[in-house]
């Protein structure tokens, strides 16, 4: 299906699908996110996905790899909730808080909020209101960081990095299962690259279906493939076949029926005693020959700083930051053969098959 913007009845151009073939190769900033339709060739994709640090996983030990870094400081909202309830917040409730808190940031008009915060700061400063100055400085710092990470650098969605990670899969019209799908971004990117299949998104927080995915912008363009020509094509959420299931992954009754089982930022939320079970979720729904694709946030100075500064937004659940060797070792030890591994902007990425 060609994705040129359709002429509207008044002769202008409809904005429902604002980007078409003529935008391939371009990037632009809008108030909440970056649009990135740059279409690098294979060489540049290889650079976007720095890969293959480990030649033989059986030779790597935990002694060599070290242990993941644990993010300890929890969100004030969680601490307050626990103090008032006089109990620990359950894991599911923690995710519900996280998803609401994180979602608020994706829908911000960042330049407008930055300007507002700056003028608040000036006013408080001119009136010597020190506690307000401190709060406004904190807001300004978090907004500036978000502007850089999500909007300017596009480090969270990272479409070019994700395309580099997902490219070259031996699948046609795949059935894709996304575990802990949140807003479902990566299943949409995969669906655009490998069109004609179906994606099943699973998250036990209903807000993810109604808001994080439900309100994901219909006008966000995903650069994928034209099935007729094999060339590039722009795809939109509404053109993809997506089912969203609100349930615990542990309750899924699927058989071995998926070509791709995917998770993005799931494994690192489970302490080591649960990791074999989580990795089994990525194996048990795969067709013979199917692939598991996992990403986890990288352990780098920038990321440690991000989870410090954004603690009140992000830190509701157990979380580790790991490097690609540590992540790969978890998969290798739990019966996966690693086909490709590497790093994209803020995540590690692995494509693997059960051994
Ligand atoms: C950290 S998020 C994934 C990162 C995601 N890309 C984002 O932007 O938030 C993990 C998601 O997994 C979901 N989740 C965690 N454990 C689950 C389980 N046992 N069953 C279903 N969903 C689960 C959470 O509700 C959450 O939305």
Domain residue limits at 124? 90-152
Q: Establish whether residue 201 lines the binding site of ligand 1, counting it when its CB lies within 6 angstroms of any ligand atom.
A: no
The three-class DSSP label of residue 160 is helix
> What's the gap in Å between 204 CA and the centre of ligand 1?
8
Residues 117, 262, single domain; the answer is no
Question: Per DSSP, which regions of 204-333 are E strands?
Answer: 222-225, 232-235, 242-245, 258-264, 286-297, 320-321
> What's the gap in Å between 249 CA and the centre of ligand 1?
10
In a domain, residue 5? The reply is no
Q: Burial level of 93, CB count in 10 A (0-12/13-18/19+)?
A: middle
In a domain, residue 198? The reply is yes
User: What is the Cα–Cα distance from 330 to 332, expressed in whole angstroms?
Assistant: 6
Among 132, 152, 172, residue at a domain's last position: 152
pTM across the whole model: 0.94
Residue 13 is predicted with a pLDDT of 53
- Looking up residue 288, the CATH number of its domain turns out to be 3.40.50.150
Q: Three-state SS across 264-281?
A: ECCHHHCCHHHHHHHHHH
Residues 129, 255, single domain; the answer is no
Residue 47 is predicted with a pLDDT of 83
Ligand 1 closest atom vs CA 96: 25
In a domain, residue 24? The reply is no
Q: Which structure tokens are listed for 209?
A: 């279906």
Residues 189, 338, single domain; the answer is yes
Residues 117, 222, single domain; the answer is no
Residues 135, 258, single domain; the answer is no
Residue 224 contacts residue 22 (beta carbons within 8 Å)? no
Residues 102, 216, single domain; the answer is no
Residue 10 is predicted with a pLDDT of 46
Residue 110 contacts residue 146 (beta carbons within 8 Å)? yes
Q: Establish whether residue 187 lines the binding site of ligand 1, counting it when its CB lies within 6 angstroms of any ligand atom.
A: no
Q: Establish whether residue 182 lines the binding site of ligand 1, counting it when its CB lies within 6 angstroms of any ligand atom.
A: yes
> What's the gap in Å between 139 CA and the centre of ligand 1?
26
Residues 139, 52, single domain; the answer is no
Going by their DSSP bridges, the two strands 286-297 and 258-264 should be labelled as parallel
In a domain, residue 26? The reply is no
In a domain, residue 177? The reply is yes
Residues 209, 248, single domain; the answer is yes
Which residue in 146, 121, 145 sits closest to 134, CA to CA? Answer: 121
Q: Establish whether residue 205 lines the binding site of ligand 1, counting it when its CB lies within 6 angstroms of any ligand atom.
A: yes
> What's the gap in Å between 253 CA and the centre of ligand 1?
18
Count of beta carbons in the 10 Å neighbourhood of residue 355 = 11
User: What is the Cα–Cα distance from 187 to 264, expressed in whole angstroms?
Assistant: 10
Count of beta carbons in the 10 Å neighbourhood of residue 257 = 12
In a domain, residue 29? The reply is no
Among 152, 179, 194, residue at a domain's last position: 152
Residues 345, 269, single domain; the answer is yes
Overall number of domains in the chain = 2
> What's the gap in Å between 96 CA and the centre of ligand 1?
9
In a domain, residue 212? The reply is yes
At residue 84's C-alpha, the angle toward residues 80 and 89, to 5°, is: 70
> What's the gap in Å between 230 CA and the centre of ligand 1?
33
In a domain, residue 245? The reply is yes
- In this structure, the residue with its CA closest to atom 22 of ligand 1 is 203
Q: Establish whether residue 248 lines the binding site of ligand 1, counting it when its CB lies within 6 angstroms of any ligand atom.
A: yes
Residues 171, 144, single domain; the answer is no
CA 115 to chain centroid, in Å, comes to 28
User: What is the Cα–Cα distance from 291 to 176, expressed in whole angstroms?
Assistant: 10
Ligand 1 closest atom vs CA 263: 3
User: 166-191: buried (b, 16+ CB within 10 Å) or exposed (e) per residue?
Assistant: beebebeebbbbbbbbbbbbbbbbbb
Q: Calculate the average pLDDT of the chain.
A: 94
> What's the gap in Å between 132 CA and the centre of ligand 1?
35
Q: Establish whether residue 267 lines the binding site of ligand 1, counting it when its CB lies within 6 angstroms of any ligand atom.
A: no
Residue 14 is predicted with a pLDDT of 55
Query: Residue ranges of the chain with pLDDT lower than 50?
Result: 1-11
Residue 135 is predicted with a pLDDT of 86
Residue of 97, 185, 204, 274 with the most ligand 1 atoms within 8 Å of its CB, for mutation:
204
């Amino acid at each position: 299906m060609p994705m040129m913007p359709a002429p509207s009845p008044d002769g202008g151009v409809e904005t429902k699908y604002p980007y078409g073939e003529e935008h391939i190769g371009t990037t632009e900033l809008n108030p909440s996110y970056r649009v990135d339709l740059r279409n690098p060739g294979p060489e540049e994709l290889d650079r976007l996905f720095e890969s293959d640090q480990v030649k033989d996983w059986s030779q790597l030990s935990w002694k060599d790899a070290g242990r993941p870094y644990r993010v300890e400081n929890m969100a004030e909202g969680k601490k307050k909730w626990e103090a008032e309830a006089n109990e620990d917040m359950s894991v599911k409730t923690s995710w519900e808080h996280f998803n609401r808190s994180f979602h608020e940031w994706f829908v911000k008009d960042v330049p407008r909020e930055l300007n507002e915060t700056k003028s608040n700061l000036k006013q408080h400063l001119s009136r010597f209101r020190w506690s307000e100055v401190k709060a406004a400085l904190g807001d300004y710092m978090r907004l500036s960081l978000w502007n850089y990470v999500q909007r300017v650098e596009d480090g969270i969605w990272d479409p070019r990095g994700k395309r580099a990670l997902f490219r070259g899969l031996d699948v046609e019209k795949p059935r894709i299962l996304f575990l802990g799908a949140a807003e479902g971004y990566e299943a949409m990117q995969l669906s655009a690259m490998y069109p004609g299949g179906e994606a099943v998104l699973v998250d036990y927080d209903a807000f993810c279906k109604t808001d994080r995915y439900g309100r994901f912008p219909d006008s966000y363009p995903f650069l994928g493939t034209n099935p007729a020509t094999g060339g590039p094509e722009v795809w939109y959420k509404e053109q993809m076949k997506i089912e969203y299931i609100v349930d615990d992954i542990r309750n899924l009754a699927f058989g071995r029926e998926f070509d791709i089982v995917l998770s993005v930022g799931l494994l690192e939320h489970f302490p080591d005693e649960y990791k074999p079970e989580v990795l089994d979720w990525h194996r048990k729904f795969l067709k013979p020959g199917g692939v598991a694709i996992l990403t986890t946030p990288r352990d780098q100075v920038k990321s440690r700083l991000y989870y410090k500064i954004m603690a009140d937004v992000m830190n509701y659940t157990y979380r580790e930051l790991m490097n690609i060797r540590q992540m790969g070792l978890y998969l290798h030890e739990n019966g996966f053969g690693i086909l490709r591994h590497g790093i994209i902007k803020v995540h590690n990425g692995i494509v693997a098959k059960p051994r």
